[in-house]
Amino acid sequence: MRPTLVSFTLLTTLWSATAAASADAHEQRFPIDIAEIEARALSHFNTVDTDQSGSVDLAEFEAAEAPDMRKKRHHRQRRHAGQSGHPGGHGPRQQRRQQMHDAVEAEMFAILDADGDGAVSEAEFAAGNTREARKLARKRAMFKRLDTDQDNLLTAEEFPNPGRRLRAADADGDGLVSKQEMHDQWRERRQAYRDKQAG
């Protein structure tokens, strides 16, 4: 099976993209109004929660269309990957990407294994290896990843919300994230990772 290039980070970004044309300094106008981003994230959650039960189940999650920024972001992600391009690199992004990749492949395998005998026959592969199936596998893997308490429901808290990260970035606590604050957060995260690697 071909590896998917879509990382977990990218997926969550996609999912919160309407919620947040946001936390992305390349396109975002500063300062970012955290309350506004959170309101949009909540509104997105309510849209996906079609039966208004206060939580999103897998069926709702699968039915929801991801926001339409896919192509653009996808290309940029690939470009980024090329720039920092360590093949076989082991940064946090690569690790998350690998984990998500493995999770998607596991879901894909389950979808392809139509008769559930634990193996994918050539016929099953030919019948099931479609774009739609792959999309479904990605959604299922992402759903599991987001469902931290594993009750098969996503609450608003479990749903992707860039507000959390934005609040962490808001050093002066004025509810706005300036370009400088966003920049500082990136630098700190990078440094924290390097420190961790250095032991």
Q: Interface residues with Ca ion (CB under 5 A)?
A: 49, 51, 53, 147, 149, 151, 153, 170, 172, 174, 176
> Which residue's beta carbon is nearest to the bound Ca ion?
53
Closer CB to Ca ion, 115 or 151, in the complex: 151
What is the smallest separation between the CB atom of 195 and Ca ion, expressed in angstroms? 25
Residue 121 or 152: the one with the smaller Cβ distance to Ca ion is 152
Distances (CA, A) of 6 to 18, 21, 29, 170, 192: 18, 18, 25, 29, 25
* Cβ nearer to Ca ion, comparing 97 with 107: 107
38 versus 49: smaller Cβ distance to Ca ion: 49
Which residue, 68 or 149, is less far from Ca ion as judged by CB?
A: 149
Q: Least Å distance between CB 61 and Ca ion?
A: 9
- CB of 86: closest distance to Ca ion in angstroms? 33
Contact 70/17 with Cβ under 8 angstroms? no
Kindly state the smallest distance separating residue 42's Cβ from Ca ion, in Å: 14
First to last CA, the chain: 36
Least separation in angstroms between residue 47's CB and Ca ion is: 11
> C-beta of 132: minimal distance to Ca ion in Å?
23
- Alpha-carbon gap, residue 139 to 136, rounded angstroms: 5
Nearer to Ca ion, 38 or 147 (CB): 147
